[in-house]
Amino acid sequence: MEKLILVDPNLGVCEAWYSYFDGLPDVEIVNLPFERLPEFDCMVSAANSHGLMDGGVDAAITRFFGEQLMQRVQARILDEYLGEQPIGTSMIVETTHEKHPFIAHTPTMRIPQDIRHTDHVYSAMWAMLLAVRQHNRTSERKIRIVACPGLGTLTGRVPFPEAARQMALAYKNYLDPMTYISWGHVTARQKHIRFGDFLGFRTPMDE
């Protein structure tokens, strides 16, 4: 992947991205609907686990690429995940669009619901980055430019700064991956993932 475009029509989401992605390389922030981007190879679908793409940014993706894309996504979910794609997974699906050939179907929630006080945004962002990486390792047609909306910021009701924090943390960890595994490393990483900074969020486990 050569470039990550963070794209959202909501100015508040973009302002949070500017704060948390400041200094991170190969990132562009665009305050527009994704349909107005001139170039991207893969659009991230901030999805539910069942491929019901009729709300939020998924509805816009379906309008842009056509109903056949949702049907293809659901067929893959039925075949590969027995009808429920887990949070923390992402699958690259062909769109048949000449200029924008892929989406990354990436659940942030099982069904449309409030996902505040969870690490679902981090898990989704991390899964998407790994899926793109794996695709580029095995496929002839590479994904160079990924367009990603605010994850969990609409139906999920995750506050913009917290969504941006989790997305940026996943991207930082992707750019600077572990070179070996120890309890010290994984405990430090988990602490950063589970706890919001100045917002003081906790996962349900901590409440």
Per residue in 26-75, pLDDT tens? Answer: 999 999 999 999 999 999 999 999 999 998 899 999 999 999 999 999 99
Where does the pLDDT of residue 188 fall: very low under 50, low under 70, confident under 90, or very high at 90 and above? confident
Taking each helix axis as running N to C, give the angle between helix 183-194 and helix 160-175, from 0 to 180 degrees, rounded to the nearest 10.
160
Take residue 193 and report the two structure tokens written for it: 């993932």
R_g of the chain computed on alpha carbons? 16
Residue 207 has a pLDDT of 40
In the numeric block, the tokens 């704060």 are attached to 19
Per residue in 34-43, pLDDT tens? Answer: 999 999 999 9
Residue 191 has a pLDDT of 86
**pLDDT exceeds cutoff 80 at 136:** yes
Domains along the chain with CATH numbers: 3-206 (3.40.220.10)
Mean of pLDDT over the chain: 93
Where does the pLDDT of residue 195 fall: very low under 50, low under 70, confident under 90, or very high at 90 and above? low
